[in-house]
């Protein structure tokens, strides 16, 4: 919940500053919407595989749980790599966060989400190790469910980033 409020503040900042491009690149010229659409589909699919993983965990199937979480991890990693590629492209072409208020708020908002994804991946890797070593006890199961909640939450935040930042940006 506190995280949600933080994202709300970043969204508000972005909404206010989105047109202040200071003569630099504007939203429409900055984004590669097809690339971002692919990112969206990947993250959505990872949310689905994460759901299947917690389903397998609830059924007590260790092998399936690990398999689905590995799939989620791989998709999450793909998403993160794509996002970093996008950031790298922007910074290389002179559209880094220091260019304008629009880009500062863009990097703050999308970067905060990316950081959450990175932390989520680390968390997922550690949880998988724990499950492999201790099996699916009530305790590890509860840890898995919390991780799944976090992951689904990140997907919901991304849906709003995709809508507000990218889709409304290129309109």
Partner 1 sequence: MGPIVHSMKKYLTAYLLSLLLVVIAFGLIYIHISSAHEVFSHPFLRVAIIILAVIQAIIQLKFFLHLGQDQSGKTNMALIFFTLGLILIIVVGSIWIMNHLNYNMTPQQIQDYMNSQSTF
Binding site for partner 1 (CB under 8 A): 1, 4-5, 8-9, 11-13, 15-16, 33, 37, 40-41, 44-45, 47-48, 51-52, 54-55, 58-59, 145, 149, 152-153, 155-156, 159-160, 162-164, 167-168, 170-171
DSSP result, 132-147: HHH-S-HHHHHHHHHH
At closest approach, how far in Å is the CB of 91 from partner 1? 25
Compare residues 78 and 170 and give the one whose CB is closer to partner 1.
170
Q: Nearest Cα to 67, choosing from 118, 128, 120, 121?
A: 128
Please say which residue, 44 or 94, places its beta carbon nearer to partner 1: 44
Give me the least distance between CB of 42 and partner 1, in Å please: 12
Min dist CB 164 to partner 1, Å, is 8
Note every long-range contact of 128-132, with CB atoms under 8 Å and residues 24 or more positions apart, other chains counting.
128/66, 128/69, 128/70, 128/73, 131/57, 131/62, 131/65, 131/66, 131/69, 132/62, 132/66
> Is the distance from CB of 22 to CB of 100 less than 8 angstroms?
yes
Question: Min. distance of Cβ 149 from partner 1 in angstroms?
Answer: 6
């Amino acid at each position: 919940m506190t995280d949600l409020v933080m994202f709300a503040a970043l969204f508000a900042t972005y909404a206010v500053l989105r047109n202040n491009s200071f003569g630099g690149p504007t939203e429409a010229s900055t984004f590669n919407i097809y690339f971002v659409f692919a990112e969206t589909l990947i993250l959505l699919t990872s949310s689905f595989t994460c759901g299947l993983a917690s389903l397998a965990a609830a059924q007590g199937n260790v092998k399936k749980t690990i398999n689905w979480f590995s799939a989620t991890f791989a998709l999450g990693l793909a998403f993160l790599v794509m996002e970093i590629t996008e950031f790298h492209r922007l910074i290389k072409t002179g559209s880094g966060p220091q260019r304008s208020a629009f880009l500062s708020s863009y990097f703050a908002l999308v970067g905060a989400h990316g950081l959450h994804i990175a932390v989520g991946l680390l968390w997922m890797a550690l949880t998988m190790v724990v499950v492999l070593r201790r099996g699916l006890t009530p305790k590890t199961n509860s840890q898995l469910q919390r991780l799944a909640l976090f992951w689904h939450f990140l997907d919901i935040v991304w849906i709003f980033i995709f809508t507000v930042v990218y889709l409304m940006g290129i309109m």
